[in-house]
C-alpha cells in the first residue's frame, strides 16, 4: 500500500482558494466516501451527511460557489451554480473509496487495488515537553484498587501500555474490575480516554455491547463497558467472542448495510457487583479482580484525597500534567520491558476469576461434569446413545425444562452429536469425547460414507446402543 497526497483537482473544477472566499473553502474539511455515498469530516468521521443533507446544511456557503455551464438534453447550454457536494467531489484529493481504521497506515493511502482510503484510526495525544510530576500516586492507586497485589497491578499497567503504544497489537483479553461505588475503578479508562484524541473511545452499557448493532466499534481503540453484571448467560457473552479473537470482522450497522471492519479495539469492563460475567472454564478472554473495599472504607470516604487525586494530580479536565506523567512512565519504563507477544498471552488466573467461573456454572454443567467424572449411566465414555435418551434422562434427573436441554450447551461440555439413518429411521447419535481412542473410532465411522462404513455403523448401533438402552433408560 502507498500513501497518496498532493493530488490536483480535476480539470475545469472551480476549486481554488484564490477564486472563492475562505468560508466556502472550509467545505474542504469534508471528504466524500464513495462506499457510503456520503460526506464526513476529515478529523471526525462520526459526522456523516448524505449529498442532499450536505447541500442543505451548507446552503449559505453554496450561494457563494462559482457557476458551471453544462449542455442540457435539448442541446442548449445551461448555467447554474455548483452545489456544495459537487464542489467537494470536484477535488480528487477529497474523494475516497472507503473508511478504514489502521494504525499501520498513514492518514490517507491507497490499498492494494489502488483505491483511496481515509484512515480514521485515532492517535495518542502527544506528551508535552514540560516538567511533569511523579506518576507514583496513580501507580499506588492501581495497586490499592487491586487489593495490594503487585502482580495484578503490573499486569494492568502492561495492558494499558499495550493499548497506548502498541495499538496494532490488539489485546486478546479484556480487563474486568468490580468493586464498591466510589473506589476509582473508572479512573483507568478515564485516563486512557484523555490520552487519546477525541472519538478514540466509547462508554456503553452491557446490553449495547451484546446487541445486534455495533456502530460504536468503528474507529475505536477502547470500549468502556459499564454495569457488566447485565450480561446474563454465558451464551449471551459468547456472542461477542469475535471482538477478542478476530483482527477483521463483519458487523451490523443501524440504518446501513453490514460491513467488515478492522478490529483494533480493546475492552474494559466495570461493575459494582462481584462475579459479573458468566465465563466458561478455560476462558482466555478476561482478566478479573474484585476490589474488596466497601463504601465505608476510610480511603473511599476520604473526599479530600479524591479531590486532590482527580482534580489536582490527574487534572483530566485541565492541563493533565499528572495524566501525561503516567503516559510517560508507561512509555519509558513499562514499554521497554513489555514482551512482544504480551497481547496474545493468556492473562493471569486470579482467585476472583476462578470463583466467577464457578458461580457461572449452571445446574446442567454441574450435573454433566459430575457424570463424566463418574463415567456411569449416559456418561459411559465408551458408549453411544440416542439424543432422545440423553434428553429424557436430563429431564428426569435434574428436572430441567425441555427448553433447557438445548444440545448446544451439551456440545460445549464435551458431547459429540451426529445425525444418521439406520434401516430407514432417523437417529441422532451421541457420545462423549472423554476417551480419545473411542472418540476417534466413532468419528471415523461417521466419516466413512461407503456401504461398508454404513454397515459397520449400523452393526455398532444395533449391538451396543439397543442393548444399553434397557440398562440406563428406565424412564421410557
Q: How would you write the pLDDT of the chain (476 residues) with one tens digit per residue?
A: 444 333 333 333 444 444 457 778 889 899 999 988 999 988 878 788 999 999 999 999 988 898 888 777 777 888 888 999 999 998 878 899 999 989 999 989 999 999 999 998 999 999 999 999 999 999 999 999 999 999 999 999 999 999 999 999 999 999 999 999 999 999 999 999 999 998 899 998 877 887 888 888 888 999 998 876 544 455 566 667 778 888 888 888 877 777 888 889 999 999 988 888 888 878 899 999 999 999 999 999 999 999 999 999 999 999 999 999 999 999 999 999 999 999 999 999 999 999 888 877 666 777 888 888 888 888 888 888 888 888 888 777 765 544 445 667 788 788 999 988 888 888 888 899 888 898 898 888 888 888 888 888 888 787 765 444 444 443 33
How many angstroms separate the CA atoms of 279 and 281, rounded? 7
* DSSP secondary structure of 213-224: B-GGGTT-SEEE
Give the DSSP letter of residue 19.
Answer: T
C-alpha angle 403-406-408 in degrees, rounded to nearest 5:
155
How many angstroms separate the CA atoms of 372 and 383, rounded? 12
Backbone angles phi, psi at 210, to 5 degrees: -100, 10
Biggest alpha carbon distance in the chain?
94
C-alpha cell at 398: 435434574
Residues 188, 179 contacting (CB under 8 angstroms)? no
* DSSP secondary structure of 267-296: EEEEESSSS-S-PPTT--SEEEEE----TT
Q: Residue 226: how many CB atoms within 10 A of its CB? A: 19
C-alpha pair distances (Å), 384 with each of 300, 393, 417: 58, 14, 10
How many angstroms separate the CA atoms of 294 and 248, rounded? 41
Nearest to 390 by CA among 446, 423, 429, 439: 429
* DSSP secondary structure of 62-111: HTTSPEEEEE-TTS-EEEEEPPHHHHHHT-GGGEESEEE--TTS-SEEE-
**Global pTM value:** 0.71
Amino acid at each position: 500500500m502507498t500513501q497518496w497526497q498532493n493530488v490536483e483537482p480535476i480539470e475545469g473544477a472551480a476549486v481554488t482558494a484564490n477564486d472563492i472566499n475562505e468560508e466556502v473553502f472550509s467545505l474542504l474539511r469534508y471528504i466524500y466516501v464513495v462506499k457510503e455515498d456520503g460526506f464526513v469530516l476529515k478529523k471526525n468521521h462520526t459526522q456523516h451527511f448524505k449529498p442532499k443533507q450536505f447541500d442543505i446544511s451548507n446552503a449559505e456557503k453554496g450561494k457563494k460557489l462559482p457557476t458551471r455551464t453544462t449542455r442540457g438534453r435539448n442541446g442548449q447550454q445551461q448555467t447554474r451554480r455548483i452545489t456544495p457536494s459537487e464542489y467537494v467531489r470536484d477535488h480528487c484529493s477529497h474523494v475516497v473509496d472507503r473508511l478504514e481504521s489502521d494504525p499501520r497506515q498513514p492518514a490517507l493511502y491507497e490499498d492494494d487495488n489502488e483505491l483511496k482510503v481515509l484512515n480514521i484510526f485515532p492517535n495518542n495525544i502527544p506528551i508535552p515537553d514540560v516538567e511533569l510530576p511523579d506518576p507514583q500516586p496513580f501507580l499506588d492507586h492501581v495497586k490499592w484498587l487491586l487489593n495490594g497485589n503487585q502482580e495484578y497491578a503490573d499486569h494492568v499497567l502492561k495492558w494499558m501500555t499495550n493499548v497506548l503504544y502498541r495499538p496494532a497489537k490488539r489485546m486478546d483479553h479484556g480487563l474486568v474490575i468490580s468493586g464498591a461505588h466510589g473506589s476509582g475503578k473508572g479512573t483507568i479508562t478515564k485516563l486512557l480516554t484523555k490520552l487519546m484524541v477525541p472519538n478514540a473511545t466509547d462508554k456503553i452499557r452491557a446490553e449495547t455491547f451484546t446487541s445486534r448493532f455495533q456502530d460504536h466499534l468503528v474507529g475505536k481503540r477502547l470500549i468502556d463497558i459499564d454495569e457488566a453484571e447485565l450480561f446474563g448467560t454465558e451464551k449471551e457473552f459468547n456472542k461477542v467472542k469475535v471482538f477478542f479473537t478476530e483482527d477483521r470482522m463483519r458487523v451490523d450497522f443501524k440504518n446501513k448495510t453490514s460491513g467488515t471492519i478492522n478490529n483494533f479495539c480493546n475492552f474494559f469492563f466495570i461493575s459494582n457487583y462481584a462475579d459479573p460475567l458468566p465465563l466458561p472454564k478455560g476462558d482466555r478472554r478476561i482478566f478479573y479482580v474484585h476490589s474488596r473495599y466497601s463504601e465505608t472504607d476510610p480511603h473511599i470516604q476520604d473526599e479530600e484525597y479524591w479531590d486532590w487525586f482527580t482534580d489536582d494530580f490527574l487534572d483530566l479536565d485541565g492541563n493533565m500534567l499528572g495524566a501525561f506523567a503516567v503516559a510517560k512512565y508507561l512509555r519509558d519504563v513499562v514499554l521497554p520491558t513489555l514482551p512482544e507477544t504480551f497481547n496474545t498471552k493468556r492473562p493471569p488466573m486470579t482467585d476472583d476469576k476462578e470463583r466467577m467461573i464457578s458461580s457461572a456454572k449452571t445446574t446442567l454443567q454441574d450435573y454433566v461434569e459430575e457424570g463424566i467424572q463418574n463415567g456411569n449411566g449416559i456418561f459411559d465414555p465408551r458408549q453411544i446413545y440416542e439424543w432422545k435418551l440423553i434428553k429424557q434422562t436430563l429431564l428426569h434427573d435434574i428436572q430441567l425444562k425441555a427448553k433447557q436441554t438445548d444440545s448446544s450447551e451439551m456440545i460445549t461440555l464435551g458431547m459429540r452429536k451426529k445425525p444418521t439413518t439406520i434401516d430407514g429411521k432417523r437417529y441422532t447419535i451421541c457420545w462423549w469425547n472423554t476417551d480419545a481412542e473411542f472418540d476417534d473410532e466413532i468419528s471415523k465411522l461417521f466419516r466413512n460414507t461407503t456401504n461398508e462404513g454404513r454397515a459397520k455403523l449400523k452393526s455398532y448401533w444395533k449391538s451396543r446402543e439397543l442393548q444399553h438402552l434397557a440398562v440406563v433408560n428406565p424412564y421410557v
